[in-house]
A = this chain, B = another copy of it.
Amino acid sequence: MSPARRLHGVKSSPVRDLLALTLRPEVISFAGGLPALELFDVDGWRAAFAKAAEDRRNLQYATTEGDPLLRELIAERMTRRGLPTTGADLLVTTGSQQALTLVATTLLEPGDVVAVEEPTYLAALQCFQLAGARVVPVASDEHGVVPSALAEVLERDRPTLVYLVPTFANPSGRTLPAARRQEIAALADRHDVWVVEDDPYGELRYRGERVPQLASYGEKVLHLGSLSKIGAPGLRLGWLRAPRSLMPAAVIAKQAADLHTSTIDQAAAAVYLTSADLDAHVAGLCAAYLERRDTMIAALPDTVPAGTEWTDPDGGMFVWLRLPGEVDTTDVLKRALTHNVAFVPGAPFFATTPDTATMRLSFTTNPPEEITEGMRRLAAVFTSPSADGER
């Protein structure tokens, strides 16, 4: 018997495999999708944990569904943001990554088809592969997935699930317009197929008008949310918003996964949402990230080769690039690391045929002056002789 048979063909995340290299202090990394360390509300979280740690019940086992107060507080926040939600609609998860895995466990049988926009979040691809699903890409343009292309895939491949990051997508930074959301929700209803709206970045909008959540357009949309990008990822706190029909099955999957999410982290988050001003904090994040975004975008023309295309995101964390010609950005990354700058090659974000000339830059991790210096180093990578095949 071979160990790990299910994992044949499932690749480790390059983001994580390269983390060791990008963690060298001399490297300016645009690789990981990391929020800015220096912008965490450390005082707020320290106070929240101090309060939570006073109550010994926060050291005990807790209910699988999650802390009732935290669920109410998240539901209120979602309702205020335009998606009417009650605590009973929510399952607290150990990060929204777990919510995705629970959806896969709940809905997918080996051999089932999952439709995804392309490129898409690579850990989602891993998750579907682990579930034994066949992943089918849907054609996308600069506004995200194309509804008519999705309609074709729904007819032809009969997917069980459609996975989308409709707002400030990872890795592309694209946002699906409201009209497309409406069309996609209608397609989901017509074909009786579940759509996952993975929405970790939705609150990080730097310009333009808010687009209603995909889940606000239909009952077949499962919504995944997270405190990771607006609060702190280290707590691993996310949630699944699902119809009542699906919740009992998701709760069973959650029991098997880890019984429940950390009691004390949930309690601290409930304290934080009650006592801190998260809206003001997010506004501060958005102001800081806008400057970082603008710094990176402004530097791009002097950084990358002529003919390079890039996205111009209204929010989120990522710029997505396509270099001209026959390039493999994995080779570029190797050279970049010798220049002490890092990014993520685009290939792993593709479900099927990778476009090796693509790459992802994260603009949230580093302050503007670091971004400027990192882009200078990246420019040197593209203009150095090694770019012609020295290595």
- Identify the A interface with B (CB < 8 A): 1, 3-7, 10-13, 16, 19, 32, 34-35, 37-38, 40, 42, 45-46, 49-50, 52-54, 56-64, 93-95, 97-98, 101, 105-110, 123, 126-127, 130, 132, 160, 192-194, 228, 232-236, 245-246, 248-253, 255-265
Contacts and interface: CB of A to CB of B under 8 A. Distances in A.
Contacts of A262: 94, 234-236, 262, 265
B234 A7 contact: no
26 contacts: A1-B160, A1-B193, A4-B250, A5-B107, A7-B249, A12-B251, A32-B61, A34-B61, A37-B59, A37-B60, A42-B56, A46-B50, A46-B53, A49-B264, A59-B233, A97-B255, A101-B256, A109-B110, A110-B110, A127-B256, A130-B253, A130-B256, A234-B262, A236-B260, A236-B262, A264-B265
A34 B40 CA distance: 35
A319 to B, nearest CB: 20
A105 B12 contact: no
Contact of A97 (B3, B258, B265): B258
Given A40-B56, A258-B95, A16 B263 contact: no
A54 B49 CA distance: 10
A78 to B, nearest CB: 21
Contacts of A61: 32, 34, 228, 233-234
Chain A interface secondary structure, helix, strand, loop or mixed? helix
A175 to B, nearest CB: 24
B264 A97 contact: no
Contacts of A258: 93-95, 97-98, 101, 236, 258
A328 to B, nearest CB: 23
A106 B60 contact: no
Given A97-B257, A126-B255, A256-B127, A63 B5 contact: no
B6 A62 contact: no
A259 B4 CA distance: 19
